[in-house]
């Protein structure tokens, strides 16, 4: 799970930097906006998985501690 969260974080950075570069070049502004919207969705997804709930447990740690059914 840590690899997936790391890849999502790197993707967020790439999307934001790409959208800024596209916006500054005067390229397709609609595509730049969509890239920022996707980055926002990924930010919320990472936050859901990593922020702790009221009991102090995050979803990523709960997923790491559970065993797969045999």
Condensed to tens digits (0 to 9), the pLDDT of residues 5-31 reads: 899 999 999 999 999 999 999 888 999
Domain-embedded: residue 70: no
Domain-embedded: residue 46: yes
DSSP character at residue 22: H
Interacting residues of 28 by C-beta distance below 8 A, sequence separation 6+:
22
pTM of this structure: 0.78
For residue 40 the two structure tokens come to 């926002």
Domain-embedded: residue 10: yes
**Nearest Cα to 40, choosing from 25, 63, 32?**
32
Domain-embedded: residue 40: yes
**Nearest Cα to 61, choosing from 31, 14, 53, 69?**
53
Domain-embedded: residue 32: yes
Domain-embedded: residue 69: no
Domain count, the chain: 1
Domain-embedded: residue 37: yes
Q: What is the mean pLDDT of the chain?
A: 87
Cα-only R_g, the chain: 16
């Amino acid at each position: 799970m840590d690899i997936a969260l790391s890849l999502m974080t790197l993707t967020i950075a790439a999307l934001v930097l790409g959208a800024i570069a596209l916006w500054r070049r005067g390229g397709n502004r609609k595509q730049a906006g969509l890239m920022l919207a996707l980055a926002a969705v990924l930010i919320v997804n990472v936050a859901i998985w990593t922020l702790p709930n009221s009991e102090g447990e995050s979803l990523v740690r709960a997923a790491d501690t559970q065993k797969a059914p045999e």
